[in-house]
Amino acid sequence: MAYPNIQELYKYREFQEIYSQEKLIEENMHMKRYQILPIRYITNDNKFVKRILIYHSPDTGKSLTALWILLNFITIYDKPSIILVKLKEAISEFKQRINLWYTYVKIYIISLHKYN
């Protein structure tokens, strides 16, 4: 879906929950809402966004946010992808969070099948 005006994201279902007090699935991976918004906003489906400037204090998750945004595009191109990061610690932390994400999603899907 395309989102032409970032100031009106609250009108779309996938962003309404960010503005609510509901617990978000991404928060299970210790992500903050200010990280979740650009990750959901910058996708291949949103043709209005070509680039974004993420600006907030040091050590608040800009690199992790950028890596998650990259994941939105990694399966689109049928080519190997290169992810450049500054520190080895960032790579291991990113891998840990991906593993946590897939573990959580797997548990969530299994629980859905139990009740259906």
Question: Does 1 map to a domain?
Answer: no
Structural domain total, the chain? 1
* pLDDT over 60 at 57, yes or no: yes
* pLDDT over 70 at 64, yes or no: yes
Domain that holds residue 18: 6-115
Token output for 11: 């009108």
The packing angle between helices 33-41 and 62-74, to 10°, is 30
Least confident range from 26-35, 57-66, 98-107: namely 98-107
Question: Does 60 map to a domain?
Answer: yes
Question: What is the band of 83 on the pLDDT scale with cuts at 50, 70, 90?
Answer: low
Question: Does 52 map to a domain?
Answer: yes
Question: What is the band of 70 on the pLDDT scale with cuts at 50, 70, 90?
Answer: confident
Question: Does 111 map to a domain?
Answer: yes
